[in-house]
Structure 1
Amino acid sequence: MNKIALPIAIIALIASIFSIYSSKSSNELVYVDVNKLLEGYKRTTVERQAFNKKTEVLKANIDSLATNWQNELKSYEKERSGMTKKEVELKQELLGNKQQQLNNYQQAIQKQIQEEDQKMTQTVVNDINAYVKEYGKENSYPIIFGAGGSGNIMYAEDASDLTSKVLEGLNAQYEGK
């Protein structure tokens, strides 16, 4: 019986060590701070700069059109006294139509800016999600929580925070390292 007990004890010891090791690495609860990833990810900065440049151009177009309309209005107010009643009516109608077109254009540009902001943000979020998924697989994490100040994770030990490691790898991947 002693001959069987020793190998069983050794197998049990090895199994215990293996289960302790595997349970520690694969059942470890970890998280990343999503806001820090978004802020620290270099692609976010690049995309935001490109978005801001495009937004500035669109807003400059609106400002230019608004200035032109205001100049026409000032010109009309100066010349109004020398116009006939029919000319005044036509000019008022023309200015009203231009103002309506300007308002419509402003609304369309605002909508375009919002859509492009959402598209840009979603592109960055998709990058981060894909990287975190791969990071979790490579490091044998069964789950990685995302914390963002919205109440998902109310408390976690600092040792459970993978944000800096993930951010470092994410930026390295973006830069092609």
Structure 2
Amino acid sequence: MKKVPFYAAVAAVILSVVAIYMAKSSSELVYVDVNKLIEGYSRTKVAKAEFDKKANLMKANVDSLVANWQKELKNYEKERSSLSPKELKLKEELLGNKQQQINGYQEAIQKKIQEENQKVTQTVINDINDYIKEYGKKNGYKIIFGANGGGTIMYADESSDLTEDVLKGLNEEYGEK
């Protein structure tokens, strides 16, 4: 009979150790809201402003070419009646060729803008990922999940959300650079 309290005490100790381990393990499962990090990261704003400036310059260049072509087209329309059939044909070919060149250039610029946007976005994401890796190592987390509203994490207790801490540290690190 005296062994029952002893076994109960041992079982209670084992359950306590397991409970402490489970509590510790569950606290190592945390997440960050990737969208909030990208939006709140200072470098994102700087990179976006630089990208917008570059993209607007490229678009303005295309707009300038289109405007010049439209002027030539209007001039052609005005002087059309005074041109010979041979001159008409030549002018129409020149205008058509120029339009094709402008369209090709416009497509190339749009592709370049998309590539530049992807490059800027990837640079920001790489910064965030590198910081999170170091943050996780420094703070002893085994896993840091990324939530982005796309179904990666369907539910997590808000106490597991590191977004604000990571964002603060990320911006402080960027500000030092």
Report the CA distance between 1:27 and its aligned residue. Answer: 5.2
Report the CA distance between 1:29 and its aligned residue. Answer: 1.3
Report the CA distance between 1:25 and its aligned residue. Answer: 6.2
CA distance in 1, matches of 2:23, 2:30: 14
Alignment correspondent of 1:170: 170
Deviation string 1:46-93 (CA, Å, 9 cap, x unpaired) is 000000000110010011000000000000000000000000000000
Alignment correspondent of 1:63: 63
Within 5 A, what are the aligned runs for 1:1-177?
20=20, 24=24, 28-176=28-176
Question: CA distance change for structure 1 residues 60 and 127 in 2, over 3 Å: closer, same or farther?
Answer: same
Deviation string 1:128-151 (CA, Å, 9 cap, x unpaired) is 000001000000000000000000
Residue 74 of structure 2 aligns to a residue in which SS?
A: helix
CA distance in 1, matches of 2:22, 2:158: 22
Alignment correspondent of 1:4: none
Unaligned ranges ≥5, structure 2? 1-12
Unaligned ranges ≥5, structure 1? 1-12
Residue 30 of structure 1 aligns to a residue in which SS?
A: strand
Letter in 1 for 2:133: K
CA distance in 2, matches of 1:60, 1:115: 18
TM-score normalised to the size of structure 1? Answer: 0.87
Report the CA distance between 1:20 and its aligned residue. Answer: 2.9
Contact 1:32 1:144 in 2 (8 A): yes
Letter in 2 for 1:162: L
Identity %: 66
Contact 2:28 2:140 in 1 (8 A): no
CA distance in 2, matches of 1:36, 1:23: 27
Letter in 1 for 2:139: N
CA distance in 1, matches of 2:26, 2:154: 22
The alignment yields a C-alpha RMSD, in angstroms, of 2.1
Alignment correspondent of 2:8: none
TM-score normalised to the size of structure 2? Answer: 0.87
CA distance in 1, matches of 2:81, 2:155: 73
Letter in 2 for 1:175: G
Report the CA distance between 1:102 and its aligned residue. Answer: 0.3
Contact 2:27 2:160 in 1 (8 A): no
